[in-house]
């Protein structure tokens, strides 16, 4: 038997459920690929308004090739997680252009439910979690519509009304089971799916390279990078320099960490755990997923957890990328120079290298300072800062582009307008030209205090770059050349970038803090519920996770309790279900006949049993036939409850006749 054809209503429900799920995946799908799929869905919906017919094969097969080619072109490895998910979404979209029967709709809804769960491999935020309730509900409504005979549903209101009681009952059963499984199922220390494989899934954040314009993109992004608590009180906001990648190598255009491959740089690291000094500043960091290994900490970090190491240049690096919400405790000695612990000559050499033949005017200026002031790094630093402060420089988030071969010369002698990465890069070039080892440090500066959650939020909009110079006897000393610009020279064109919007409006700031506090709670209590938190949970219940007997008793007791709860709910539901009055009257009739030694067989219907009872009791044949006929009419006929009076009358006549016979 062929599957029934989907009517327009059933098709629209199927399309709506899939489209709502696809909308969630737009957060990571390439925009042009998502636009292509959306175009196919719109074209299919418009075509089906005209006539219900699948697209011909000569259109479908080329589209399959186009989708698979685009996936491979965009994602590279076709077996990677993103590529596989994108291919599945694309093929499911193509399935909709040929879906005309019920089995097609059921298949698409099955895949759609799978795509709902796959979304959480890409985003586990509370916002997307709440949104995914919508496509999930639409899928079940679509399944309800598809499973019903065509024309038997009366719209969304009638569907929700008919499903309301069943939905509440399922929630009452599923929620306790979900909570039990959430706390009981063994947790992994790292996400099962590991890190992301391509640029489209990479998180926005600092990179291990810096070129003009790279930090500008972050300054316009208000996404949280981490949340920080200071149990003993925070330092001054001006001391909140969150250290990220340290950039040594400059090729004339881009700064990079290329020297990390040097064996001495690897050997100079310090592995955790490190406790730090008791009087160092202690703080707790909850880092958002970045898919990168560095851990942002205040300078100079002295205490850090196991699984991390402090590199020779003072950056804290984790052994594995941060692919999920990660919390750690650290200690720092704020504003302390980064000591030269090992390989001083190597660090000095790396801190003086410049690309040959580039930026000659900058080098001549720096060398003139060297001849004037000698080799005192403090004096040379102050001379460079004075040059920036008094040289007509300005601050802008949209400076003129630097396009020539001598870009630092362009900035220092022509445009003189830029932001932190321009000033940090130019300052380091000047210092190296003057014979002072220097390097660029990227990270974040400051943060905003959340009064609701009592923590500091560091966002991408707080991204910053500064410099460090090597001072004999002290180490690498921080210098922030951006701070040398006079306030009246700052171009305010980017004042609202980076999350300042709303800071002057108390109600908007309060709302923003509350929303972020909810997200922080979600991260701390649900997303971060890993194997360590699971052990703490069981320990609070007095259960040793290493004792399988205790765990077995807990799991068995939990499952038994949920089973009893489920049975009780269904029993109450059954008791509240309206009875069948026709069946109740018929059972009274059967009890009367049972006294006569007659009862229906296991598969014997009312009509067959009535004929057999009439043959066995000829004197009651007519009343028996009247009862059976009235029962079938009341229960199975179109008259429904209208036939109950006739059934009651026939049953009363049967009782009277049975009593007279008795």
Residues 6+ apart with CB under 8 A from 259: 248, 249, 265, 350
- Among candidate residues 104, 280, 480, 516, the one labeled active-site is 480
Per DSSP, the three-state class of 602 is: coil
Integer Cα distance of 100 and 120 in angstroms: 30
Residue 247 · residue 441 · CB < 8 Å: yes
Residues 6+ apart with CB under 8 A from 111: 88, 92, 95
- Among candidate residues 420, 422, 462, 516, the one labeled active-site is 420
Question: Taking every pair of C-alpha atoms in the chain, what is the biggest distance, in angstroms?
Answer: 135
Residue 325 · residue 256 · CB < 8 Å: no
Asked about 25 being catalytic, the answer comes back as no
Tokens 């028996």, residue located: 624
- Among candidate residues 25, 387, 422, 464, the one labeled active-site is 464
The DSSP 8-state label assigned to residue 526 in this structure reads: I
Asked about 92 being catalytic, the answer comes back as no
Integer Cα distance of 585 and 578 in angstroms: 15
556, with CB counted inside 10 A (0-12, 13-18, 19+), is exposed
Cis peptide before 300 (omega within 30 of 0): yes
Asked about 291 being catalytic, the answer comes back as no
Question: Degrees (nearest 5) of the Cα angle 236, 237, 243?
Answer: 105
Taking each continuous run of H as one helix and of E as one strand, the counts in the chain are: 22, 21
Query: 495-530 as b/e, with b when 16 or more CB fall inside 10 Å?
Result: eebbbeeeeeeeeebeebbeebbebbebbbeebeeb
Question: Degrees (nearest 5) of the Cα angle 417, 418, 419?
Answer: 145
Question: Degrees (nearest 5) of the Cα angle 337, 343, 348?
Answer: 65
Which residue numbers are catalytic?
A: 420, 464, 480
């Amino acid at each position: 038997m062929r599957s029934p054809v989907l009517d327009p209503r059933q098709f629209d429900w199927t399309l709506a459920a899939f489209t709502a799920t696809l909308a969630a995946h737009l957060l990571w799908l390439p925009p042009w690929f998502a636009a292509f799929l959306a175009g196919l869905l719109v074209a299919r919906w418009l075509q089906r308004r005209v006539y219900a017919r699948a697209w011909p094969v000569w259109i479908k097969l080329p589209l399959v090739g186009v989708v698979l080619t685009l996936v491979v072109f965009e994602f590279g490895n076709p077996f990677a997680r993103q590529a596989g998910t994108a291919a599945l979404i694309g093929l499911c979209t193509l399935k909709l252009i040929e879906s005309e029967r019920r089995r097609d709709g059921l298949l698409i809804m099955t895949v759609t439910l799978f795509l709902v769960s796959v979304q959480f491999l890409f985003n586990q935020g509370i916002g997307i979690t709440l949104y995914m309730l919508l496509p999930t509900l639409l899928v079940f409504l679509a399944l309800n519509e598809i499973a019903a005979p065509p024309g038997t549903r009366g719209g969304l209101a009638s569907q929700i009304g008919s499903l309301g009681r069943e939905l509440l009952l399922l929630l009452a059963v599923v929620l306790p089971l979900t909570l039990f499984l959430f706390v009981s199922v063994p947790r992994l220390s790292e996400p099962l799916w590991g890190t992301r494989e391509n640029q489209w899934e990479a998180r926005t954040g600092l990179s291990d390279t810096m070129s003009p314009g790279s930090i500008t993109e972050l300054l316009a992004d208000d996404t949280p990078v981490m949340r920080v608590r200071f149990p003993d009180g925070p330092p001054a906001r001006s001391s909140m320099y969150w250290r990220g990648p340290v950039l040594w190598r400059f090729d004339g255009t881009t700064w990079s960490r290329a020297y990390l491959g040097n064996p001495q740089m690897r050997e100079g690291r310090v592995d955790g755990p490190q406790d730090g000094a008791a009087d160092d500043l202690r703080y707790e960091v909850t880092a958002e997923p970045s898919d990168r290994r560095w851990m942002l900490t205040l300078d100079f970090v002295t205490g850090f957890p196991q699984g991390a190491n402090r590199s020779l240049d003072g950056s804290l690096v984790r052994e594995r990328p941060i692919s999920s919400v990660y919390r750690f405790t650290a200690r720092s000695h704020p504003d302390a120079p980064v000591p030269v612990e090992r390989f001083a000559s190597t660090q000095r050499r790396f801190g003086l290298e410049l690309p040959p033949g580039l930026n000659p005017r900058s080098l001549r200026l720096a060398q003139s300072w060297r001849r004037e002031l000698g080799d005192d790094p403090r004096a040379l630093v102050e001379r460079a800062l004075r040059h920036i402060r008094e040289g007509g420089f300005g601050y802008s988030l949209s400076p003129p582009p630097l396009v020539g071969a001598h870009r630092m010369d362009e900035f220092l002698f022509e445009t003189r307008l830029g932001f932190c990465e321009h000033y940090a890069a130019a300052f380091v070039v000047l210092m190296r030209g003057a014979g002072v080892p220097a390097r660029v440090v990227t990270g974040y500066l400051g943060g905003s205090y959340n009064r609701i959650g009592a923590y500091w939020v560091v966002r991408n909009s707080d991204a910053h770059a500064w410099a460090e110079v090597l001072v004999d006897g002290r180490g690498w000393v921080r210098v922030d050349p951006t701070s040398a610009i006079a306030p009246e020279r700052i171009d305010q064109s980017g004042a609202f970038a980076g999350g300042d919007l709303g800071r002057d409006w108390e109600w908007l700031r309060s709302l923003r803090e509350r929303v972020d506090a909810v997200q922080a709670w979600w991260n701390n209590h649900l997303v971060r519920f890993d194997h360590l938190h699971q052990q703490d949970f069981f320990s609070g219940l007095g259960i040793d996770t290493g004792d399988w007997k205790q765990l077995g008793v807990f799991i068995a007791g939990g499952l038994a309790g949920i089973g009893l709860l489920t049975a009780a709910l269904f029993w109450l539901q059954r008791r509240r279900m309206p009875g069948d009055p026709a069946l109740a009257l018929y059972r009274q009739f059967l009890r009367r006949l049972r006294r006569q030694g007659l009862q229906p067989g296991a598969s014997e219907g009312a009509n067959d049993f009535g004929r057999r009872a009439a043959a066995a009791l000829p004197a009651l044949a007519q009343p028996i036939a009247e009862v059976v006929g009235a029962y079938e009419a009341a229960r199975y006929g179109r008259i429904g409850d209208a036939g109950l009076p006739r059934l009651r009358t026939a049953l009363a006549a049967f009782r009277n006749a049975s009593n007279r016979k008795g």
